[in-house]
Structure 1
């Protein structure tokens, strides 16, 4: 292969190998989200539709760029992520005491942490690959962890505990997929299990400093729901009522009857963190199952691409994207059904949020490119 062919080889993909199944699953999930967002609140669906169009364009473009080429820009990508997350702490919009967004005027807001997820998956991939032979050595893990924890700490300071947990989950899963030895995992578990037990006790003490007041109240409301049913736990209680009231077939989209939990305005911001309550109430058990199956199928396709990737880099990126979508889906639905403490994570491709939608689309574009690279030299 000559220099010219090597430089432009990303233009020579065989479209027959394009992962149309994954693309169609993403389009189906996003389209479902459009209908549910339109039903949940007025004025958001048009913006989400615009985000869907821009996101699909970005997905297609990224899917034809060699991910191995992108990995060469590991440090510029890392620096960009750190700069964005630092800048938002000083110049971001303050909403309820948190600085997580840049104001774009009439275009809405931009949330750097959503894009930082994809950027850090790329950076972490390169770090793991470069240290694959020493991945189970404590020195290598500490070095990788220090680099990774800087943007995570900046997100924690916004404050944004839910996204911080997403980053930590991605780190654990990618390190595991990178070849971390089971012996090392066992040793870590021996230390982490008692530490987690201590943390559960510690955060309930009046002198704890790890969590903000609203974060602590959400955890305490989950542990003691009867004491917080009329306050902090009220949102989740109403969400469960909404999902249960939908029964098998649901009440139908755009249902605003007085008997509707959504129509009675008992849940705030349903188009974002509690979008699953709208799905449960208006599309019923069947619609809820379809939503879960769509998201599960997207995760499965990403894992399938990871399994068949041509190198470790592709396997790690696809695994990172899969773990991100899976964790956010699990937590969002778990919160809406009161199986987990209340935390603000959007449902991938379904919830309203242009930054999250665009970032997820870019992530899927990377996964499709990894699949296109399969079998190529």
Structure 2
């Protein structure tokens, strides 16, 4: 009896120690980011360049800010076991709405910002209601919404339209040292999303809905409201990215939807350690995933890598990351502990 108890306690203690030594997904993401920075820096240096020159760092951070806005919003819906493939079209639509509403008048900047965000929220609301109320698969629902927006853009806008006042263009070009203001704003948005997920009831409900929809519903969580909220916030983040595009170009552009921000944002979220099945992940990890993609793009551009081969390398890295996270979900130690605990209990019952 004493031996079984001692063995179970020792095994539990040892396993607890092993578990405490395991790195979380977020830690792995940032360790990978440091490793990629070092390897890319060495490769660029061998070619006679400097990856950490101010121009390259600024470009890297600029790429991070644009994709970061969309990826932060994508994290919220993926945590709810949903998805949003309309974000690229929302970015293009909001850039045009903002630019055409401002019409080059500095006094209309606030009106353009409000109009763009209102349109983005409306698209997110439609996505959320279709998914939550009509039980349509998120992939189909958001893809259909995105195609509707695309059809409107292709019919209504034949090219760049609108004019952004110089006062608002500073949002896209102003820097604090080598750091663009847009990157600072993106980090603020990520911090707000982090607080939402970790300190508010709505954030807890998002994790609950993504973990198990039926259990969340039986626990009193208003799952439909949570899904709708996540999609509205996701579209709002895409709307901010659209305003950033308008600030950089000085006008709205319908062809922004061809940038691939929808799939890139999903890739960044997955690289950041958020499960596509929902219920587990973090905005902090997503920011790390966005940074990894930005570093890769900057290094590939400096090294003048073939664009097709660049996509191949990015695909390999994403698949490897997903495979790593999938293997980490299998915890042999925890299985042995549960099995060992049951055996000890049976033995104790037999002795008794």
Q: Greater relative contact order (Cα 8 A, min sep 6): structure 1 or 2?
A: 2
- Structure (1 or 2) with the larger CA radius of gyration: 2
Bucket of the pairwise TM-score, normalised by the shorter protein: under 0.3
Structure 1-normalised TM-score?
A: 0.26
